[in-house]
Structure 1
């Protein structure tokens, strides 16, 4: 009957509308769930990247800062360059070596050390004292209770094995006979590596005047390098490297033959090891300011030329409304066409990374107990 057919059609339309509403609600719930999962994933991904960046900061950037501090110390000193600018071989001297310096205060630059096994440009400052500030900022530290260079007994020197320039990272690569060259203001002291030992932290007799027989008086001149073991985890032990004195020479005569191979690399004030531009940075604040200025200029220029094309397309319906996303929101709200938006995002990321290196990670390493224990961080 005609009446019943119309009624059935109305019912079908009502039922279809209800189905459409249910689908719309289901799609909305599905979209909300997908957005929530996506945002959670982005948060975890961001945290993972921050953790990785923290490792980079600890192992690399603290080394750049330590190198900057050492460079400043060298530039502030009145030490002269070796005769011949590093190309002249100094004549080994006979007899007992002079002792230099006779005494030093905590933080004083007492020497520089060269170990060719660690690289042709490898050099580190040696300052008086082994507290956290000296080992983090100044290079290597001389144990105040041990002998000075040239003195009968044992020159004890400590340094980090990871982070802060990791000066003693590769002590496990030493080979018998490797040169360990210590320079003071006026003299070279040349030692040769002999052996190593892994000990507990409380075994302090390894830096005794006579570490081979700690209860007996010193009979020869030695050098001891102490560092952490294992390298990348909590240091439960100490890696001890010993060397014995070979000869001494005058800085005014040139450089020891152990540091000369064609043109000498890594000689004090030769200039080669001081040319790293990053080591000249005392702070990342200038970099952050440059990045911020570049971002503002590009952002405003793109805003005038293109405004926000993605937002315009979404508003007009030419592009579907995307799921909620932290990074998607940031990209959509950059002005300009796609290449410009990605460039702006890159500048934002670089600014964020520099800010973490400059302020975020130092704060975490100074205030979070587990990170304090892991990093032994000392502000520069």
Structure 2
């Protein structure tokens, strides 16, 4: 009788724990969706006010630097879009765990969109960057900000060790580097990182319509 009572109690406890964990998960998903909707609407409103809807930023390097100077203190700096993959997510300032729960994170020591150098962005493989494993060479990445839209073309993808923070080093050509955990289907902590590098497209350059898959050998060869 005591054993049966213990079993019943254990089952009830497990049910409660499972229910609580599920509720916490749903709450997290709800918070993330609400944050994305709210900040996306705010960005679109800011673009409308600035008269910069669908604009591609032109202008001198010094003006871009001046416009971006205040971005480092903002909670959200823009939105990343990869049209072919259906990826669209707000970009938060920083890569703290709470930020990465709500958005793609901007590595604060890297360039801002439109600045010379390398814009570093990080995202979870099981949320905003879930589809990143299907990226192709020459895919277009857009970073939409209140100051304009910056377009980048994918050059390469690579699987690297977690310590390869040099992928965020400054670059001679304005670039964006995306990083997420790898493998995408790993359970628990991921042993490696998947990196995508794209370079900024000249505002006057014609769009390239054809995209070719990145070869597996390319993943292993870059970066050197």
Verify same fold: TM over 0.5: yes
From 49, 60, 66, the counterpart of 2:32: 66
1:38-53 → structure 2 map (5 Å cutoff)? 40=7, 43-44=10-11, 47=14, 51=18
What is the distance in 2 between the residues matched to 1:208 and 1:73?
Answer: 29
1:196-215 → structure 2 map (5 Å cutoff)? 196-210=157-171
The answer to whether 1:127 aligns with 2:92 is: yes
From 180, 183, 189, the counterpart of 1:227: 180
Secondary structure of 1:71's counterpart equals helix
Secondary structure of 2:120's counterpart equals strand
Secondary structure of 2:152's counterpart equals strand
Match of 1:80 in 2: 47
- With over 3 angstroms needed to count, the CA separation of the structure-2 counterparts of 1:45 and 1:177, relative to structure 1, is farther
From 160, 164, 167, the counterpart of 2:124: 160
Deviations 1:172-216 (A, max 9, x none): 111111111001102111111222112222211001013xxxxxx
What is the distance in 1 between the residues matched to 2:19 and 2:166?
Answer: 38
CA RMSD of aligned residues (A): 3.8
Which structure features the higher share of helix residues?
1
Deviations 1:141-196 (A, max 9, x none): 1111111111221110111122xxx1111211111111110011021111112221
What is the distance in 1 between the residues matched to 2:38 and 2:56?
Answer: 30
Asked whether the 8 Å contact 1:161–1:168 carries over to 2, the reply is yes
Q: Which has the larger radius of gyration?
A: 1
- With over 3 angstroms needed to count, the CA separation of the structure-2 counterparts of 1:104 and 1:82, relative to structure 1, is closer
Match of 1:170 in 2: 131
Secondary structure of 2:69's counterpart equals coil
Q: How does the TM-score come out when normalised to structure 2? A: 0.71
What is the distance in 2 between the residues matched to 1:248 and 1:106?
Answer: 27
Match of 1:142 in 2: 106
Asked whether the 8 Å contact 1:70–1:125 carries over to 2, the reply is yes
Which structure features the higher share of strand residues?
2
- With over 3 angstroms needed to count, the CA separation of the structure-2 counterparts of 1:150 and 1:44, relative to structure 1, is same
Deviation at 1:72, TM superposition (A): 2.5
The answer to whether 1:246 aligns with 2:207 is: no
Question: Size of the alignment, in residue pairs?
Answer: 201
What is the distance in 2 between the residues matched to 1:106 and 1:94?
Answer: 23
The answer to whether 1:116 aligns with 2:80 is: no
Q: Which runs of 5+ in 1 are unaligned?
A: 1-31, 211-218, 250-256, 259-380
From 16, 28, 36, the counterpart of 2:4: 36
Deviation at 1:75, TM superposition (A): 4.1
1:303-318 → structure 2 map (5 Å cutoff)? none
Deviation at 1:102, TM superposition (A): 2.5
What is the distance in 1 between the residues matched to 2:29 and 2:10?
Answer: 29
Q: Which runs of 5+ in 2 are unaligned?
A: 209-224
